Amino acid sequence: MGNRSFARGGLMESVSSFSPALAVLASLIGAIMVLIFGRLPNIREGFSVGAGIVKFGIVASMIPVVMDGKLVELKLWELLPGLPVMFRVDAFGLLFGLVASFLWIFTTLYSIGYMRALKEHAQTRYFFCFAIAISSAIGVAFSANLFTLFIFYEILTISTYPLVVHIETPEAMRAGRKYLLYLLTAGVFFLFSIVAVYHYTGTTDFAPGGILEGKGIPENMLKLLFITFMIGSAKAAFMPLHSWLPTAMIAPTPVSALLHAVAVVKVGVFTATRIILYVFGVDLMNETGLALAMAYFAAFTIIVASIFALTHDNLKKRLAYSTISQLSYIILGAALLTPAGITGGMLHILNHAFTKITLFFCAGAIIVASGKEKISEMNGIGKQMPLTMLAFTLGALGMAGIPATAGFISKLYLLIGTVEALQIPLLLVLLASTLLNVAYFFPVIINAFFKRPEKEQSFKEAPLFMLVPLILTGLISILLGILPDAPLAIVRIAVANLMGGT
The C-alpha R_g of the chain, in whole angstroms, comes to 21
Half-sphere exposure of 24 (CA within 13 A, CB side): 23
What residue type is 417 in one-letter code? Answer: G
Indicate the average pLDDT of the chain: 91
Residue 209: predicted pLDDT: 86
Among the listed residues 254, 189, 255, the one whose alpha carbon sits nearest the alpha carbon of residue 224: 189
Residue 9: predicted pLDDT: 44
Flag whether the pTM goes above 0.85: yes
Alpha-helical runs (H) found in 337-423: 339-370, 381-384, 386-400, 406-420
Residue 457: predicted pLDDT: 76
pLDDT in tens, 414-468: 999 999 999 999 999 999 999 999 999 999 999 999 998 877 778 889 899 999 9
Q: Decide if 175 contacts 242 (C-beta within 8 A).
A: no
Answer yes or no: is pLDDT of 344 > 60.
yes
Residue 7: predicted pLDDT: 44
Sheet of strand 71-80: strand arrangement: 2-7, 10-16, 71-80, 83-89
Residue 500: predicted pLDDT: 66
- Dihedral sign, Cα of residue 265, residue 267, residue 268, residue 270: positive
Confidence band, pLDDT 50/70/90 cuts, at residue 260: low
Kindly state the average pLDDT of the residues 339-355: 94
Paired with 186 in beta bridges are: none
What residue type is 129 in one-letter code? Answer: C
| pLDDT-above-90 percentage for the chain | 79
Answer yes or no: is pLDDT of 281 > 70.
yes
Which helix (H) or strand (E) is 74 found in, with range?
strand 71-80
Backbone angles phi, psi at 80, to 5 degrees: -140, 165
Kindly state the average pLDDT of the residues 270-278: 95
2-11, 236-245, 404-413, 480-489: segment of lowest average pLDDT: 2-11
Answer yes or no: is pLDDT of 22 > 90.
yes
Q: Decide if 90 contacts 37 (C-beta within 8 A).
A: no
Residue 237: predicted pLDDT: 84
Residue 6: predicted pLDDT: 41
Collect contacts of 203-206 with beta carbons under 8 A, ≥24 apart.
203/82, 203/83, 203/145, 204/82, 204/83, 204/145, 204/146, 204/147, 205/82, 205/86, 205/144, 205/145, 206/88, 206/143, 206/144, 206/145, 206/146, 206/274, 206/278, 206/279
